[in-house]
Amino acid sequence: MVNILSILVGALAFLIALIGIFPIPLLPLVNWIALPLAIIGAALGVVSGKTSGRNLNLLVILISGLRLFFTGGFI
């Protein structure tokens, strides 16, 4: 049950992160919303016995983190 919740949180964070990938000014700031959501989802995934939710959230953390790192966190 916790793994399903982790997958749902990860899917929501992934959709938000996909919006933040587009190079429209100030739109990548939504990655600051996706990153904490993915961290919460990864914590839920660690608690569960399965690894699919955790892996999805780690992917979202990687995508959002790299996007913020390469653009300085703003643009």
23: tokens are 């190079």
Q: What is the pLDDT of residue 13?
A: 95
pTM of structure: 0.88
Q: Identify the sign of the CA torsion 6, 43, 13, 62.
A: negative
pLDDT digits (tens, 9 = 90+) for 11-41: 999 999 999 888 787 788 888 999 999 999 9
Greatest C-alpha distance within the chain: 40
* Category of 25 on φ-ψ map: left (φ > 0), alpha (ψ -120 to 50) or beta: beta
18: tokens are 């996909």
Q: What is the pLDDT of residue 75?
A: 59
